[in-house]
Structure 1
Amino acid sequence: MPRQRTPTYLYFVLIISLAFLGSQLLMSLLMKTSDILDEIDIFHSLTTGGQSDQPLDSGARDKHQFDDANKHCSPGSFQLNNDGICHPMLTCKDIQDNVNAIQHIGGGAVKQVYLARWKKYQVILSNLSHPSFTDDFLYGAEMLQQFQPNPFVTRLLGFCLSIPAIVTEYHSFGSLENINSILKEKDEDNVVTRFKLCLDYVKIINFLHSSPTGTHVMCDSNDLTKTLSQFLVTSDLHLVINDLDALPVVDSSKGSSIKCGHREIVGDFVAPEQLWPYSGVEFNDAQMPGYDEKTDIWKIPAVVDYLLGEDVHGDVVRFNLFKLHQKCSIKDPTLRPTAAEVLKGYLDVQQTLKL
């Protein structure tokens, strides 16, 4: 019996049906993305009063608040808690006689850190851990002094080279390691606040790479936890860099390079150029090649991924940062973007998503 041919119109019906189902699936995906963006927009309205924000430039974060907090104080003085009282920088005598350690809160090879009291204020007192690290300790004090005043750097209140000791402003939230519990405590665990922290982090990297004292590389950053510990969270949920004793200067335009210590660095968090490149050969610091500030660029995607958290809204930000982060993760450091280029990309995302 001859095989019957399927009527042509049935093929058209099938094609139209498949096209309809495909369009429905596409519309569903678009609506899901739109819903997420709408929720981000709601967060934006709640946090800004519905007003449109213009992206901040690399040095404008909290500039007005920072200026207001310091405009009444002359160079070489400071105020705490925005109380309007200007104090001269603490001297060796001030530190020895009036800064009293209350509680040991941390430390490492270079320094021991204490919560302390000076007059009515809580402050941070840092003492040298061991004489063999005196140069590192004094370098950190010098960097703090040179970077003052700056909204990206913890405030220096005084130092004494003969003790030696450094006194800095106290931030009750502590380091960036605690960010998840901090945001829950402040009821600020949303994509807007988390992206603000990411932007602060990138701005600080850009500041270090373009500071008046040269291009500084963050060497205390061999893993995520150590990197987060270098930053403090302020009461208004911004970041300041706190640990400055391992910020060597590099000038790649002159072919100079640095190495972060004299021991072998391992792990998948650090940049590829920081790893011992000679397989099967025992590590030898004299043969280890140097590197530059592009090691900091490599680490940006991992730090930001952590800061964005697990909320679904963070995935929208990740999607918008994907191509930029791909460039940050190029194995050849010369092909990675500069910190300024990364910052521009973040500001573009801030504007696109109205964060």
Structure 2
Amino acid sequence: MIQIMARRTNTFKLCFLLIASLAFIGYQLLLKSSVCPRLPAGGQGVRQLDPGVVDKHQLNDTDTKCSPGHFQLNNDGICHPMLTCKDIQDNVTSIKEIGVGLIKKVHLARWKTYQVSLVKLSHSSFNNYFLSAAKMLQQSQGSPFVTQLLGFCPSSSTPAMVTEYHRFGSLKNINSILKENGKDNGATRFRLCLDYVKIINFLHSSPTGTRVMCDSSYLKKTLSQFLVTSDLHIVLNDVDVLPVVDSSKRILTNCGHYQVVGNFAAPEQLWPYAGVKFNESQMPGYDEKTDIWKIPAVVDYLLGRNVYGDLVRFILSKFHKKCHSKDPKLRPTAAEVLKEYLAVQQILNVTEQSGLIF
């Protein structure tokens, strides 16, 4: 019996390696062909990709149905004007607190017949951070990659925001979310990976400059910055700390007032002076390539443990090594990462349609 099981295991491994090899060969050919979508020079975001690769997470209903200064909820076709201070004070009712952070606290609330998120300042000493986050959210509206802002009140005493409520909550709970909704499969998980890469590309080519995800020193913290939508896509929700960088002008950043440790963060984020006590003022700056270093680890988590995920890991293994180059300059750009992932998506679609993987 043990010998039979061993033979079956070996057969499975051989089949997997055969499928992976065929997929990898197809993937390499795809990269060299004109079929692979080309991103515009300068990495100006996924919105300029060929129509054939646009999906609902690249252009959503709010982009086409509602004019600036308006929003739509639940794809119901109704465009509402942005909520004013009076609207928020008189018509948004808190139901319960669902999250508390250093800068803000979040309440599940109700506006008319809709469930929304009411975001308030946690402590007056963080007022500037709160207002900065609100401004960043305002500047990012119209993008399907960022949570939708419904209203903002910059009151000096009690500033507040109202944002779209996503009942599934944080991306850090993705394993239980997928299982509870019967969607725990490789295809859904890879789509989440692709969403994540699209968001990083959006941040690195945003209208307000190249933005770095500073609140991402470890995996769970990074995942907590995103929310899962009802159609199992992801959006960036926490925009509190997204500094602008420009390495060509030596405009760099230094994330946080504490020492970063561990393998998840990029090497340049670690304190470089052994035997010397950490001092923020002496910490060298860095750019957006720190986000690129973290992509393989985030993707590995999102893929889960399944044949589909193993195939993706195999195909992307060589490319992910580039993402982990110790020299930031040798890492690919976010636009190059997105191009690679879109190529993988195409070969996986072909493989899946052929019935080779599920």
TM-score, normalisation: structure 1 = 0.84
Counterpart contact for 1:208–1:217, Cα < 8 Å: yes
What is the letter of the counterpart of residue 94 of structure 2?
A
Query: CA 1:142–1:302 in structure 2 vs 1: closer, same or farther (change >3 Å)?
Result: same
Q: Report deviation, 1:65.
A: 6.2
SS at match of 1:201: helix
1:77 positional shift? 0.9
Matches within 5 A, 1:59-78: 59=47, 60-62=54-56, 66-67=60-61, 69=62, 71-78=64-71
Aligned partner of 1:108 among 101, 110, 114: 101
> What residue in structure 1 maps to residue 4 of structure 2?
none
- SS, match of residue 177 in structure 1: helix
- Tell me the residue number matched to 1:10: none
Q: What SS does the corresponding residue of 1:126 show, helix, strand or coil?
A: strand
Gaps of 5+ in 1: 1-25, 40-52
* Residues 44-193 of structure 1: pairs in structure 2 closer than 5 A: 58-59=46-47, 60-62=54-56, 66-67=60-61, 69=62, 71-162=64-155, 163-193=158-188
- Secondary structure at the counterpart of residue 299 of structure 2: helix
In structure 2, distance between residues paired with 1:243 and 1:28: 42
SS for the counterpart of 2:197 is helix
The code of the aligned residue for 2:213 comes to M
Q: Specify the SS of the correspondent of 2:191.
A: helix
Query: How large is the Cα RMSD of the aligned pairs?
Result: 2.3
Structure 2 gaps, min length 5: 1-9, 24-34, 40-45, 48-53, 353-358
1:202 aligns with 2:186: no
Cα deviation for residue 346 of structure 1 reads 0.8
For the residue of structure 2 that corresponds to 1:316, the secondary structure is helix
Tell me which stretches of 4 or more aligned residues in structure 1 moved more than 2 Å: 26-39, 53-61, 69-74
Aligned residue for 2:60, secondary structure, equals helix
Aligned counterpart, 1:294: 289
2:146 maps to a residue whose letter is V
Taking every aligned residue pair, what percent have the same amino acid on both sides? 67
Q: Distance in 2 between matches of 1:343 and 1:317?
A: 14
Partners in 2 of 1:322 and 1:54 — Cα distance?
19
Letter in 2 for 1:258: T
Question: Corresponding residue for 2:271?
Answer: 276
Residue of structure 2 equivalent to 1:305: 300
Kindly state the Cα deviation for residue 64 of structure 1 after the two structures are TM-superposed.
7.8
CA distance in 2, matches of 1:315, 1:156: 37
Contact 2:109 2:118 in 1 (8 A): yes
- 2:318 paired residue among 307, 323, 327: 323
Q: Residue 257 of structure 1 corresponds to which residue in structure 2?
A: 252
2:280 to 272, 278, 285: 285
Q: Which shifted more, 214-223 or 55-64?
A: 55-64
Does the CA contact (< 8 Å) of 2:37 and 2:339 recur in 1?
Answer: no
Q: Distance in 1 between matches of 2:38 and 2:133?
A: 29
What is the rounded CA distance, in whole Å, between the counterparts of 1:119 and 1:254 in structure 2? 48
Residues 165-216 of structure 1 show CA distances to partners (whole Å, capped at 9, x for unaligned) of: 0100001111101111111122111111110000000000000000110000
- Which amino acid is 2:259 matched to? E
- Deviations along 1:200-239, one digit per CA (max 9) or x if unpaired, are 0000000000011000000010111110011111111111
Q: Is the 8 A contact 2:197 2:334 kept in 1?
A: yes
Specify the code of the residue in structure 2 equivalent to 1:92.
Answer: C
Return the offset for 1:32: 3.5
Q: 1:27 to 1:311 in 2, by over 3 A?
A: closer
Q: Distance in 2 between matches of 1:191 and 1:37?
A: 18
Q: Indicate the SS of the match to 2:346.
A: helix
Higher CA-based Rg? 1
- State TM-score, norm by structure 2: 0.83
